[in-house]
Amino acid sequence: GAVVSQHPSRVICKSGTSVKIECRSLDFQATTMFWYRQFPKQSLMLMATSNEGSKATYEQGVEKDKFLINHASLTLSTLTVTSAHPEDSSFYICSASLAGGTDTQYFGPGTRLTVL
């Protein structure tokens, strides 16, 4: 149980376009979902926290107008990278938990974004 999926697993796009990444909890309802970014050979950095039905909370330094997060249901959160640029190329990973923070976070397999 506690499976989290992400789609797509890889995406290549042209500079200036927007890309949407989906994160789904397959067998549980997630009250809180988190989005992380991982640069090559580096650690995961928390980008934002989203609760179903409310606006996401972004970490300092993360542009909320560039990284749009929607948590429309208890099993789906989406991250849209708007007007992507090469520096946005990274590995984006989502996680989901039943109760944010103290409970276990279940991680998706990640999405590799390459912006040309």
Partner 1 sequence: AQSVTQLGSHVSVSEGALVLLRCNYSSSVPPYLFWYVQYPNQGLQLLLKYTSAATLVKGINGFEAEFKKSETSFHLTKPSAHMSDAAEYFCAVSEGGADGLTFGKGTHLIIQP
Residue 102, phi-psi category: left (phi > 0), alpha (psi -120 to 50), beta (remainder): alpha
- Residue 51 binds to partner 1 (criterion: CB under 8 A): yes
Strands (E), the chain: 4-7, 10-13, 19-25, 32-38, 44-51, 57-58, 67-73, 76-81, 90-97, 106-107, 111-115
User: Nearest approach, Cβ of 27 to partner 1 (angstroms)?
Assistant: 15
Asked if residue 115 lies in contact with residue 86, where contact means CB atoms within 8 angstroms, the answer is: yes
User: Nearest approach, Cβ of 87 to partner 1 (angstroms)?
Assistant: 20
Count of residues binding partner 1 (CB under 8 A)?
25
| Pattern 11-50, partner 1, x by CB under 8 A | ---------------------x-x-x-----xxxxx--x-
- Token pair of 99, please? 């109760």
Other CB atoms within a 10 A radius of the CB of residue 76 amount to 16
| Pattern 62-91, partner 1, x by CB under 8 A | ------------------------------
Instruction: Write out the residues near partner 1 by the rule CB under 8 A.
Output: 4, 32, 34, 36, 42-46, 49, 51, 57, 59, 93, 95, 100-102, 104-110
